[in-house]
Amino acid sequence: QVQLVESGGGLVQPGGSLRISCAASGRSSNNFAMGWFRQAPGVDREFIGAIRWSAGDTYYANSVKGRFTISRDKAKNTVYLQMNSLKPEDTAVYYCAAGFGLIVSSLSSSSQYNYWGQGTQVTVSS
């Protein structure tokens, strides 16, 4: 079992920045990826990006590329999503997820992730 606990959501003005965290505990393995997804009301869950834990390589959706950055702290078993130049359309509940043995082509598929955080609300509004 893996437990994922997110923190750091909130209200931010357009153009602002926010960093959310996802702390992982439980199963011990380096062969996994951490993904970030978001879901706005009435919209399907959307892939934002992912990081493969061992290698540290990152992948992003086109909608956030250049604005969002994913990083990890191995010592803290924590993944971060740094969000810059935020727009009102970035408003959503943000989820982190963990998936084991994922290949690169499957990182954007929510069904490939086994464990999910509780979600944290990010609201971009003036």
Residue pLDDT, tens place only, 4-25: 999 999 999 999 999 999 999 8
pLDDT bucket at 90, cuts 50 / 70 / 90: very high
Flag whether pLDDT at 107 surpasses 80.
yes
Q: Please report, rounded to a whole number, the percentage of residues in the chain having pLDDT higher than 90.
A: 85
In angstroms, the CA 106 to CA 91 distance is 25
Task: Report percent pLDDT > 70 for the chain.
Answer: 99
Q: How many CB atoms lie within 10 A of CB 56?
A: 11
Q: For residues 65-90, give the mean pLDDT.
A: 96
Confidence of residue 104 (pLDDT cuts 50, 70, 90): confident
Q: What is the pLDDT of residue 101?
A: 84
Distances (CA, A) of 93 to 15, 56, 84, 117, 122: 18, 25, 16, 11, 6
Instruction: Fill in the amino acid letter for 9.
Output: G
Q: What is the pLDDT of residue 30?
A: 76
Sign of the torsion angle spanned by Cα atoms 110, 115, 121, 123: negative
3-state secondary structure of 94: strand
Averaged pLDDT, 79-100: 96
Q: What is the pLDDT of residue 103?
A: 87
Spatial separation of the C-alpha atoms in residues 18 and 7, rounded to whole Å: 11
